[in-house]
Structure 1
């Protein structure tokens, strides 16, 4: 596992549910990992110096070429791998801001495209999490709140709440 050396034993990832104007979802098929060959959401790790919402915008752009804005927070997926690694992923809803022309990242992905959620349910290679999100999507989306500062003593250079 190359990620252990790079990320330690606490991982923080993000994923983005990008919705087109007509309601289709932006999905990718990865060439590696546990989701290899399955439709899933664009995702990746938060890097130093960025907030989780900045990371999801970067990851979606890198993987699919789609520039987005965050609409809100869906939730958190958290688990422990092999009783040792804390694996956490924050899930956001995004909207495309530069159109819907997809260009996938060749080295990491087999494919990336917008697909209607009801069609994804018919695909045999749709991930478990994606199937669950399709059924649950009408649940509340938490909006981002900016402009708050918990105090200068913390030294935040960026601070946002999703409530």
Structure 2
């Protein structure tokens, strides 16, 4: 399975919650989740941190401005005994409400209550799992740290 990302994939996904407690979900036009509700997600690009990547992906896919609150999960698997597929799942707060669907990638995007999503047959396993568990633990982002100039970090985040 040749891929421009090589054999180690780092992706991000986000549970974006609005002021009513509803979650932002999307229906992709491609891939294994084609036609299913899932969280906005995508791959981390060169030169960006994990939290920058999820904010970018959410905005690109849906037009929603969101703010990272913390890390709530990790999904990791191996595809066809070759590709290490890893995803960090963030909890975010929606700072805007007008959805603008990225029509090249998505059929639709919407905010729905978690209780609706956990029983929806069109919801992804990851989405249903989070809706069922109603996560209570989270690692919070700590900015402003520098492990030393000798490392040359231009961005550094710690989640504890």
Within 5 Å, which residues of 2 pair with 1:73-88?
A: 73-88=71-86
Q: Secondary structure at the residue paired with 1:71?
A: strand
Match of 1:24 in 2: 22
Q: CA deviation at 1:86?
A: 0.4
Between stretches 117-126 and 16-25, larger displacement belongs to 117-126
Q: Matches of residues 125-144 of structure 1 in structure 2 within 5 Å? A: 125-144=122-141
CA–CA separation in structure 1 for the residues paired with 2:49 and 2:72: 16
Q: Corresponding residue for 2:46?
A: 48
What secondary structure, in the 3-state scheme, does the structure 2 residue paired with 1:6 have?
coil
Q: Show CA shifts across 1:136-160 (max 9, x none).
A: 2232111100111111111111001
Which of the residues 98, 101, 107 maps onto 1:101? 98
Structure 1 residue 135 displacement after superposition: 1.7
- Shift of residue 110, structure 1, vs aligned partner: 0.5
Equivalent residues of 2:72, 2:135 under 8 A apart? no
Q: Secondary structure at the match of 1:114?
A: strand
TM (norm. structure 2) is 0.96
Moved >3 Å (runs of 4+): none
| Secondary structure, aligned partner of 2:101 | coil
Query: CA offset at residue 5 of structure 1?
Result: 3.1
What root-mean-square deviation, in Å, do the aligned CA atoms of Structure 1 and Structure 2 show?
1.0
1:121 Cα deviation from its structure 2 partner: 2.2
Alpha carbons 2:118, 2:132 under 8 Å: kept = no
TM-score by structure 1 length? Answer: 0.95
**Bigger mean CA offset, 20-29 vs 116-125:** 116-125
Unaligned runs of 5+ residues in structure 1 are none
Q: Distance in 2 between matches of 1:15 and 1:137?
A: 16
Q: Which residue among 112, 116, 128 is the counterpart of 1:119?
A: 116
Which of 57, 60, 63 aligns to 1:59? It is 57
